[in-house]
Amino acid sequence: MSTCSPIRITAGRAARLALAASLALAGPAAADEPCQSPYLPKVTAQEDYLYVWTLGVEGWGDGSDKLVTVGVRPGRDDYGKVVSSVSVGGRHEAHHGGFTDDRRQLWMGGLDSSAIFVFDVASDPARPKLVRTHTKFVEESGGVVGPHTFYAIPGRMLISGLSNATDGGGKTALVEYANDGRFVRTVWLPDDAPYGYDVRVNANLNRMLTSSFTGKKNYMRPLPELMQDAEAMKRFGDTMVVWDYHARKPLQTLKVPGAPLEVRWALQPRHDWAFTTTALTSKIWGVFRKDDGSFEAVELATIGDPAKIPLPVDISLSSDDRFLFVSTFNDGTARVYDVFQPRQPKLVHERKIGAQVNMVSQSWDGRRVYFTSSLLANWDKAGAENEQFLKAFAWDGKALTPAFSIDFAGEKLGRPHIMNFGSEALYRGRVAERAPAAGVAEGG
């Protein structure tokens, strides 16, 4: 495919985009997940569905990766039930995905095959349709492997890689595609911070943060085997990069030992910090803007007992920047921290979710929190502890209370990973103020 010609954005237009993103954050969004791109339209009614990207398991149903749709609106017949599922054929290490900036398509990736699957979620939100399978990601990107985060920016999808085709190590890049699937460009991470994982943008500050994990040679190995390999355990990232977002230019490399994973910018307009957690050292870190406009990375708190390797794997920051939800895979526990004072997190609630737990997604109004169980096919636990579930909880600001649970193993659906919120009202035009219209490409 040919490279598209980007439309340049003037300084005035850039300011208007930032304002639109701010309005979207400040708008009357009652549902949605707060940890999304500021360029997405917000769901203003309660979410109707969860789209759960699920790893196939041999012998479970057709054995393929699939997108599973679950009803989550209380009072409806489909509440807490599987509404539909769409198989993509084969097992690709289904992992992460995200909406395009018009929210009409959901792009989902496979870490093993590097295939990208594009679903139409607008025509019938209850029954997404697979409309495109993209198999040339590695070739078009110049050797990037393992598409991880799918992050909507104006007219484009920004994708962070985990690895490369040369040696399967951690050196990787950011890759951009137009919403119609045309390759735009590859931006390799700097030499002093070559590892990649998550990518998030603060539109108000024109700053982007990337974090770091490990390459394919590591993430496709069984976890117990990997942890016994001292040399392999040295090949994890220990950096975060601060970028000029519009220029895609790295400005600072911050040392954050222990594989910093998910990045969550504060959501309130005057809050200029972000959080991450480190998988190997079990720490909460903050990235704070200093008076001179540069950033510093600060270790803030310890999660559980690091000697037991709780393995924090996902975080969710509430829309009022008050509560940070942290899920730790090895002990299957969710911890909630009060981060009203962001440099002094306080543990205020702890709950066992299951034998293992991975992703956590909360609603914009903070009343509902969802958890899934699978980390990676070769990292999930074995035997009776290989629980595979979606669990929903109510959150009242003090405690998590169970709402419903679906046993994905019992239903032979697979290993549930990332979740995205679906809404019928969104496609009837009831959305909050949002960033630019679909199809407007951003300049480099």
What pLDDT, on the 0 to 100 scale, is given for residue 31? 61
230-231-234 Cα angle (round to 5): 90
Q: What are the domain boundaries of the chain?
A: 11-309+418-428
- What's the CA gap between 392 and 400, in Å, rounded? 9
Q: What is the pLDDT of residue 431?
A: 41
Backbone angles phi, psi at 351, to 5 degrees: -145, 135
Strand partners, 250: 243
* Strand partners of residue 395: 400
Please report the pLDDT score of residue 30 as a whole number. Answer: 52
End-to-end CA, the chain: 19
The pLDDT of residue 21 is 42
Q: What is the pLDDT of residue 195?
A: 98
Residue that is written with structure tokens 């040339």 in the block: 136
Residue 262 near residue 276 (C-beta atoms within 8 A): yes
Secondary structure string (H, E, C) spanning 52-92: EEEECCCCCCCCCCEEEEEECCCCCCCECCEEEEEECCCCC
Residue (of 164, 130, 133, 134) closest to 146 by Cα position: 164
Is there a contact between 53 and 107 (Cβ–Cβ < 8 Å)? no
The helix/strand/coil state of 419 is strand
How does pLDDT run along the chain (444 residues), one tens digit per residue? 433 333 333 444 444 344 344 334 334 445 678 989 999 987 767 899 999 999 999 999 999 999 999 999 999 999 999 999 999 999 999 999 999 999 999 999 999 999 999 999 999 999 999 999 999 999 999 999 999 999 999 999 999 999 999 999 999 999 999 999 999 999 999 999 999 999 999 999 999 999 999 999 999 999 999 999 999 999 999 999 999 999 999 999 999 999 999 999 999 999 999 999 999 999 999 999 999 999 999 999 999 999 999 999 999 999 999 999 999 999 999 999 999 999 999 999 999 999 999 999 999 899 999 999 999 999 999 999 999 999 999 999 999 999 999 999 999 999 999 999 999 988 875 443 343 333 333 444
Just give the CATH number of 11-309+418-428: 2.40.128.630
Question: pLDDT at position 238, please?
Answer: 98
Q: What is the CA radius of gyration of the chain?
A: 20
- For the purposes of burial, counting CB atoms within 10 Å of the CB of 69, is it exposed (0-12), middle (13-18) or buried (19 or more)? buried
Cβ atoms 441, 101 nearer than 8 A: no
Does pTM top 0.85 for this prediction? Answer: yes
| Encoded tokens for 65 | 């990766």
Which residues contact residue 68 at a Cβ distance below 8 angstroms, ignoring those fewer than 6 apart? 51, 52, 54, 82, 84, 85, 408, 413, 414, 416
